[in-house]
């Protein structure tokens, strides 16, 4: 680092002086020792700071302190006397008990003013004052500002601690930009006069000032004020009013009290709120929200533990803040969690979040908005807020100690921060290695937290592209392998376009169906994402077939007894037996099992007529889904129907479905309906292997035995399948007539002609008394017949119907009515005893 | 495809440049000034930036014709290498859209790329040209280098020969012990 640079010595002295003047005064004094030339340069520094505390150590005895103070005063005298330069830019004097040393102060001030000082700081407050004190005495100014300062018009910055002044005389400060007042009584009238006298005033700070007035700067806008800093001042904040349209920085530290806040500052960039001296909770929620809302334009916001605890007790939501950088001085105690989520929610543009671990502001009357399980809070009660999705890039935590709560918060931020780029964890330096190793461990665990990277705006490098077979139905093409990703993600849009499939999402499951609406896969909802189920059966099948193939190519010896079986091309035993009768040298090995025979020649076993029959109704229900019908229903979206056949009575119910996904619900509904209506429990349900029938949990609660047919064997589900055919035939309306006519006189035939009385209320004397209609269906929930008007195709339910079963008005003139069903009506039966 | 992407890339740059130029033209009538460095390299510099240089301002006050004519304004104590750096700094800081954070990052990078010798040359050039912003930035940066360093480091850094006798130095160190002057 300390490479020798001979160049700098050759710099002109003025330049060296400029550089030196940038250093703190203490270092300038130290640098006098460099060389004689440098001692001269140092002695003309333009930046001087005389601080009593450089000399006086407060923990010494009074006598020593007195001696140290004398040395300090002497040093001031010598330095001022030896000063070589003609210019002083900054002059700062901190001296307690100024009454006895008025001459030195006068000398200092005239020294500084004569050399055109720009920044003057005079601090006469007690040396042993405590900065952190909440309740302080009523400080009085120790000394008045020396008169020559009022004449010094080139002053740009003035700091007066415990140093009184006459505001009426401050009329020459045309360049004054910064004023800092502290440790004395400052009335509002003085502040107002100051603001009006010094027209360039940009920055105003108050430190431990007090008065018993409201902090009300009035309605008149002050256009020059850029910065306002109120640090532990004691005013009555019943009304807090500032109208400074150009205010950029607002800083407040102190008690909350009940603010009636009116801050007009549209240009605000930074706001720092620190209520750490506060101890109460009750009733501050709404005023605090008002205050935070008034600061909504701030890009940098600092909040403290008090704010985080109290703000959730106010209104649930406030307007969106413009905050880009949020600093939370928090203990990450559970009381603060609600506040943290509150700010994450209302800062949608947040880019940088800093958490400074500090002590909890223990409020004696704290009340949680609601009870929550600490361990589950960051899982159950928080969403993924907008800032986490789109803007939050940097999270910084200072003073990390690895507690459980810190861990949970960081875990949440890492997991949900979609665009998060950087997390910096600065551990608390504690000296004892124990804490550090604990922190380290905790931080290392955080490194392994999985991340949601749904739409990462950084390009992630993909190493390999290829095809992945998830199952024989789902084959993903152009799969990119990105080692950075901790999740395997499937793009829905690509999946849909490449497989021509459709996806149905429900609250628990997502079903993937192919073009023919056959289910080819499913995904389960877990923690906000759908996880594709691995289709284990599918894999097993493949593995099995593979092993069999291996055997075929293995070595094999042919037993002599089976020779003829092989010679005749794996002839069957029955064929060989015929041969055997005629040719004595043909042998049959009845015990041998020939793989190839079965592989090549096995047939399906025949289906004999089933004679087993149930003895009671609802002992066995056969079910099947039919569809999709290529033409939608009148209502536009019904394409499936579920057929339920009772094995005992062969009574049939047909339920219309919008999609296969409805089957779950309808089956459950049906089982419950049977229980209620017939007072019988369903014992067994039989259907094909459709996944829509798998509702194991429901079957278990009802004690229903669920039986499925074998794969590709619809014959085992024969009753339901046969019923389908029947139902479709009825809809074809030709065979239905043949099937039904005459036998059930009460029933109309679908589509037959009927005359229906018109409603009296809409009829005049000369209107026809009936209208020509076609019979459609009986409705289970209304006592009447559903008919369709031949001309208007209006549908009506009425009991005044005369049927003409042999006439079919729609038989040749197909008018566009296709299939009609009724929603929400019960299972309407088409025929009673089919 | 390739052509398309290229054109889309250059377009925003072009429009930004055009806008920049428009701004200049509306602000000031004359668009460029000719500056000649000590190693006889001429630069065409936007007037808005050149006018920030105290030396250029002074020259134009003395001979106002130079702004209109094609004669170059001579900068005797500035080499082309320094002028390039200065222009880079000012173009960045003059850029309307540069945010505070961008500028901070730029300054850090700017400083990192300089070695001590270049830093000194640049400081001298900035001093000669009377460019306040850069000058303040450089002096502050140098002060930061020697801040909180012990006396020996500062001596090596500036290449200072100690002309105190050991007794004198010891006496001084004793006297100003409060300022942290310790014995080595």
B61 assigned to some structural domain: yes
The answer, yes or no, to whether residue B13 has pLDDT greater than 70, is: no
| Alpha-carbon separation of residue A599 from A467, A570, A595, A758 (angstroms) | 32, 11, 6, 69
Would you call B104 an interface residue with chain A, using a CB distance cutoff of 8 Å? Answer: no
Distance, CA of A629 to CA of A651 (rounded, Å): 23
Distance, CA of A811 to CA of A752 (rounded, Å): 9
Better pLDDT: A818 or A165:
A165
pLDDT of residue A609: 64
pLDDT tens, position by position, A214-244: 888 877 888 888 999 988 888 777 778 888 8
Q: Which of A188-202, A305-319, A605-619, A638-652 has the lowest mean pLDDT?
A: A605-619
Helix (H, G, I), strand (E, B) or coil at A443: helix
Helix (H, G, I), strand (E, B) or coil at A532: strand
Nearest to B109 by CA among B88, B128, B94, B80: B88
Output the six-digit token pair for A774.
């076609």
Under the banding of pLDDT at 50, 70 and 90, the label for residue A205 is: very high
pLDDT tens, position by position, A594-628: 766 776 666 666 666 666 667 787 888 888 887 77
Distance, CA of A334 to CA of B142 (rounded, Å): 47
pLDDT of residue B181: 61
pLDDT of residue A203: 92
Helix (H, G, I), strand (E, B) or coil at B108: helix
pLDDT tens, position by position, A788-799: 887 777 888 888
B110 near B82, Cβ under 8 Å? Answer: no
Output the six-digit token pair for A169.
């005389």
How much is the average pLDDT of A665-672?
88
pLDDT of residue B102: 80
Interaxial angle between packed helices B151-158 and B132-146, expressed in degrees from 0 to 180 and rounded to the nearest 10: 130
Helix (H, G, I), strand (E, B) or coil at A591: coil
Residues near B4 by beta carbon (within 8 Å), at least 6 away in sequence? none
Better pLDDT: A492 or B86:
B86
**What distance in Å separates residue B121's CA from the closest CA in chain A?**
9
pLDDT of residue B9: 45
On the question of a cis peptide bond just before residue A363, with omega within 30 degrees of 0, the verdict is: no
pLDDT tens, position by position, A564-580: 777 777 777 777 788 88
Q: Of A5, A15, A20, which has the smallest distance from its Cβ to B159's Cβ?
A: A5
Distance, CA of A602 to CA of B160 (rounded, Å): 104
How much is the average pLDDT of A167-172?
86
CB pair distance less than 8 Å for A32 and B176: yes
How many Å separate Cα A44 from the centre of its chain?
A: 60
pLDDT of residue A355: 92
**H-type helices in B28-99, by residue range?**
47-50, 54-62, 80-94
Output the six-digit token pair for A25.
């005064």
A686 near A714, Cβ under 8 Å? Answer: no
pLDDT of residue A196: 86
Distance, CA of B65 to CA of A397 (rounded, Å): 60
Output the six-digit token pair for A573.
């035993």
Distance, CA of A661 to CA of A664 (rounded, Å): 7
The answer, yes or no, to whether residue B1 has pLDDT greater than 50, is: no
Under the banding of pLDDT at 50, 70 and 90, the label for residue A635 is: low
Under the banding of pLDDT at 50, 70 and 90, the label for residue A137 is: low
Residue of A nearest to B139 (CA): A19
Taking the CA atoms of residue A253, residue A254, residue A256 and residue A258 in that order, the dihedral angle to the nearest 10 degrees is -110
Would you call B171 an interface residue with chain A, using a CB distance cutoff of 8 Å? Answer: no
Under the banding of pLDDT at 50, 70 and 90, the label for residue A543 is: very low
B28 near B47, Cβ under 8 Å? Answer: yes
DSSP A830: S
pLDDT of residue A455: 41
Nearest to B32 by CA among B8, B9, B14, B48: B48
pLDDT tens, position by position, B171-183: 888 877 777 665 4
- Summarize chain B as % helix, strand, coil (round to 5): 65, 5, 30
A398 near A429, Cβ under 8 Å? Answer: no
Q: Which residues of B touch A77 (CB under 8 A)?
A: none
How much is the average pLDDT of A368-377?
76
Q: Which residues of B touch A4 (CB under 8 A)?
A: 156, 159
Strand partners, B115: none
DSSP class per residue in A268-316: --EEEEE-TT----TT-HHHHHHHHHHTTT-SEEEEEHHHHHHGGGS-S
What's the CATH code of the domain at B132? 3.30.710.10
B57 assigned to some structural domain: yes
Ordered strands of the A502-505 beta sheet? A502-505, A509-513, A519-526, A529-532
Output the six-digit token pair for A789.
């008007």
Output the six-digit token pair for A404.
């459980």
pLDDT of residue A798: 82
The answer, yes or no, to whether residue A150 has pLDDT greater than 70, is: yes
A654 near A633, Cβ under 8 Å? Answer: no
Residue B125 lies in domain: 32-152
Under the banding of pLDDT at 50, 70 and 90, the label for residue A745 is: very low
Distance, CA of A690 to CA of A713 (rounded, Å): 12
pLDDT tens, position by position, A260-283: 777 777 788 899 998 888 877 777
Q: Which residues of A touch B120 (CB under 8 A)?
A: 5, 7-8, 11
Within 13 A of A360's CA, how many CA atoms are on the CB side? Answer: 14
pLDDT of residue A8: 67
Residues near A208 by beta carbon (within 8 Å), at least 6 away in sequence? A133, A136, A139, A182, A183, A231, A232, A233, A234
Residue position matching structure tokens 């005459």: A742
Residue position matching structure tokens 């070695």: B115
B135 assigned to some structural domain: yes
Within 13 A of B54's CA, how many CA atoms are on the CB side? Answer: 11
Better pLDDT: A710 or B83:
B83
DSSP A185: B
Would you call B147 an interface residue with chain A, using a CB distance cutoff of 8 Å? Answer: yes
Distance, CA of A399 to CA of A424 (rounded, Å): 11
- H/E stretch holding A778 reads strand A770-778
The answer, yes or no, to whether residue A742 has pLDDT greater than 50, is: no
pLDDT tens, position by position, A286-338: 888 888 888 888 999 999 998 888 888 888 778 888 999 999 999 888 888 88
Distance, CA of A524 to CA of A195 (rounded, Å): 66
CB atoms within 10 A of CB A548: 11
Domains of chain A, each with CATH number or no CATH: 268-370+380-448 (3.80.10), 449-532 (no CATH), 562-599 (no CATH), 620-741 (3.30.420.10), 746-827 (no CATH)
pLDDT of residue A737: 39
Check residue A687 and give left, alpha or beta (phi > 0: left; psi -120 to 50: alpha).
beta
What are φ and ψ of residue A480, in 5° steps? Answer: -95, 135
Distance, CA of A120 to CA of A49 (rounded, Å): 10
**What distance in Å separates residue A12's CA from the closest CA in chain B?**
9
pLDDT tens, position by position, B94-111: 777 777 778 888 888 888
* Mean pLDDT of all residues belonging to chain A: 77
In chain A, pLDDT over 70 holds for what percent of residues?
A: 77
B83 assigned to some structural domain: yes
A643 near A653, Cβ under 8 Å? Answer: yes
Better pLDDT: A713 or A817:
A713
For chains A and B, what is the number of CB pairs under 8 angstroms? Answer: 100
In chain A, pLDDT over 90 holds for what percent of residues?
A: 6
B25 assigned to some structural domain: no
Helix (H, G, I), strand (E, B) or coil at A550: helix
How much is the average pLDDT of A99-121?
89
Q: Which residues of B touch A249 (CB under 8 A)?
A: none
Residue position matching structure tokens 């901070």: B104
Q: Of B117, B139, B162, which has the smallest distance from its Cβ to A5's Cβ?
A: B117
CB atoms within 10 A of CB B131: 22
With b meaning 16 or more CB within 10 Å and e meaning fewer, what string describes A472-510? ebbebeebeebeeeeeeebeeeebeeebebeeeeeeebb
Q: Which residues of B touch A19 (CB under 8 A)?
A: 139, 142-143, 146
Q: Which of A658-662, A701-705, A736-740, B50-54 has the lowest mean pLDDT?
A: A736-740
B105 near B91, Cβ under 8 Å? Answer: no
DSSP A483: T
Mutate which of B133, B146, B164, B179 to disrupt the A interface (most A C-beta within 10 Å)?
Answer: B179
* Tally of domains in chain B: 1
A798 near A787, Cβ under 8 Å? Answer: yes
Under the banding of pLDDT at 50, 70 and 90, the label for residue B33 is: confident
Q: Which of A42-56, A409-423, A498-512, A514-528 has the lowest mean pLDDT?
A: A514-528
Output the six-digit token pair for A763.
């009829």
| Alpha-carbon separation of residue A768 from A637, A773, B94 (angstroms) | 36, 13, 91
B160 assigned to some structural domain: no
The answer, yes or no, to whether residue A180 has pLDDT greater than 90, is: yes
**What distance in Å separates residue A476's CA from the closest CA in chain B?**
27
């Amino acid at each position: 680092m300390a490479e020798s640079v001979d160049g700098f010595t050759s710099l002109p002295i003025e330049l060296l002086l400029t550089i030196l003047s940038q250093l703190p005064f203490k270092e300038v004094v130290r640098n006098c020792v460099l060389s004689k030339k440098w001692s001269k340069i140092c002695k003309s520094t333009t930046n001087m700071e005389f601080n009593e505390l450089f000399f006086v150590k407060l923990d010494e005895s009074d006598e020593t302190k007195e001696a140290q103070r004398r040395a300090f005063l002497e040093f001031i005298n010598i330095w001022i006397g030896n000063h070589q330069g003609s210019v002083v830019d900054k002059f700062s004097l901190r001296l307690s008990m100024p009454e006895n040393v008025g001459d030195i102060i006068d000398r200092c001030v005239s020294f500084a003013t004569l050399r055109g000082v720009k920044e003057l700081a005079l601090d006469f407050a007690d040396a042993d004052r405590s900065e952190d004190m909440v309740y302080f005495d009523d400080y009085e100014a120790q000394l008045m500002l020396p008169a020559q300062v009022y004449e010094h018009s080139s002053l740009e910055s003035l700091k007066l601690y415990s140093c009184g002044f006459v505001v009426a005389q401050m009329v020459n400060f045309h360049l004054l930009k910064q004023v800092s007042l502290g440790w004395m009584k400052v009335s509002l009238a003085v502040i107002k006069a100051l603001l009006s006298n010094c027209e360039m005033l940009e920055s105003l700070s108050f430190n431990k000032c007090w008065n018993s007035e409201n902090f009300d700067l009035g309605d008149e806008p002050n256009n020059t004020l850029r910065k306002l800093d109120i640090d532990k001042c004691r005013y009555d904040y019943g009304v807090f009013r500032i109208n400074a349209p150009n205010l950029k920085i607002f800083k407040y530290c102190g008690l909350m009290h009940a603010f009636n806040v009116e801050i007009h500052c549209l240009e605000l960039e930074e706001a720092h709120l620190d209520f750490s001296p506060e101890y109460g909770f009750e009733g501050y929620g709404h005023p605090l929200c008002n205050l935070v809302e008034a600061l909504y334009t701030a890009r940098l916001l600092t909040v403290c533990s008090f704010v985080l605890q109290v703000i959730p007790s106010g209104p649930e939501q406030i307007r969106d803040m413009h905050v880009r950088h949020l600093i939370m001085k928090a203990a990450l105690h559970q009381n603060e969690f609600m506040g943290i989520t509150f700010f994450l929610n209302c800062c949608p543009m947040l880019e940088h979040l800093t958490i400074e671990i500090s002590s909890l502001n223990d409020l004696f009357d704290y009340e949680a908005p609601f009870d929550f399980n600490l361990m589950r809070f960051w899982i159950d009660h928080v969403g993924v807020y907008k800032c986490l999705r789109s803007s939050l890039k940097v999270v910084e935590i200072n003073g990390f100690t690895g507690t459980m709560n810190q861990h949970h918060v960081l875990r949440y931020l890492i997991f949900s921060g979609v665009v998060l780029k950087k997390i910096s964890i600065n551990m608390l330096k504690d000296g004892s290695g124990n804490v550090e190793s604990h922190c380290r461990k905790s931080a290392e665990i955080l490194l392994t937290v999985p991340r949601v990277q749904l739409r990462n705006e950084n390009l992630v490098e993909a190493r390999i592209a290829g095809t992945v077979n998830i199952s024989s139905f789902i084959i993903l093409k152009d799969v990119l392998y990105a080692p950075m990703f901790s999740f395997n993600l499937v793009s829905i849009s690509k999946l849909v376009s490449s497989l021509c499939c459709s996806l149905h999402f429900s609250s628990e499951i997502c079903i993937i169906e192919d073009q023919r609406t056959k289910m080819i896969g499913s995904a389960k909802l877990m923690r906000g994402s759908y996880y594709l189920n691995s289709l284990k059966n599918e894999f097993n099948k493949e593995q099995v077939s593979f092993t069999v193939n291996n055997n075929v190519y293995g070595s094999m010896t042919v037993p002599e007894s089976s020779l003829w079986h092989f010679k005749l091309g794996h002839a069957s035993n029955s064929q060989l037996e015929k041969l055997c009768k005629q040719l004595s040298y043909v042998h049959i090995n009845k015990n041998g099992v020939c793989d190839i025979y079965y592989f090549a020649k096995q047939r399906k076993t025949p289906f004999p007529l089933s004679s087993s029959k149930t003895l009671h109704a609802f002992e066995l229900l056969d079910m099947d889904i039919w569809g999709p019908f290529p033409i939608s229903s009148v209502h536009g979206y019904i394409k499936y129907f579920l057929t339920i056949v009772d094995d005992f009575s062969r009574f049939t119910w047909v339920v219309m479905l919008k999609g296969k996904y409805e089957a779950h619900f309808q089956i459950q509904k049906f089982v419950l309906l049977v229980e209620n209506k017939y007072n019988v429990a369903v014992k067994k349900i039989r259907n094909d292997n459709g996944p829509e029938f798998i509702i194991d949990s429901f079957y278990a609660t009802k004690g229903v035995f669920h039986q499925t047919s074998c794969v590709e064997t619809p014959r085992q589900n024969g009753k339901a399948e046969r019923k389908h055919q029947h139902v479709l035939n009825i809809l074809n309306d030709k065979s239905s007539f043949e099937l039904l006519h005459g036998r059930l006189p009460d029933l109309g035939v679908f589509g037959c002609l009927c005359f229906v009385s018109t409603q009296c209320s809409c009829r005049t004397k000369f209107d026809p008394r009936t209208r020509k209609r076609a019979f459609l269906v009986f409705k289970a929930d209304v006592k009447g017949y559903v008919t369709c008007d031949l001309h208007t195709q209006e549908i009506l339910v009425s009991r005044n119907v005369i049927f003409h079963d042999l006439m079919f008005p729609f038989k040749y003139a197909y008018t566009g009515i296709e299939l009609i069903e009724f929603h929400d009506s019960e299972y309407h039966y088409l025929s009673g005893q089919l | 495809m390739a052509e398309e992407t290229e054109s889309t890339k250059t377009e925003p740059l072009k429009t930004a440049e055009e806008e920049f130029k428009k701004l200049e033209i509306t602000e000031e009538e004359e668009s460029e000034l000719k500056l000649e460095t000590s190693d006889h390299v001429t630069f065409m510099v936007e007037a808005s930036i050149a006018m920030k240089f105290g030396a250029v301002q002074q020259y134009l006050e003395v001979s106002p014709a130079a702004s209109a004519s094609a004669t170059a304004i001579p900068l005797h104590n500035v080499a082309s290498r320094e002028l390039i750096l200065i222009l880079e700094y000012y173009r960045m800081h003059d850029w309307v859209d540069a945010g505070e954070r961008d500028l901070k990052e730029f300054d850090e990078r700017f400083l990192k790329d300089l070695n001590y010798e270049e830093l000194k040359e640049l400081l001298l050039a900035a001093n000669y040209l009377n460019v306040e912003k850069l000058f303040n930035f450089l002096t502050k940066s140098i002060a930061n280098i020697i801040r909180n360093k012990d006396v020996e480091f500062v001596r090596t850094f500036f290449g200072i020969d100690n002309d105190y006798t050991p007794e004198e130095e010891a006496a001084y160190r004793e006297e100003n012990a409060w300022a942290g002057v310790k014995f080595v």
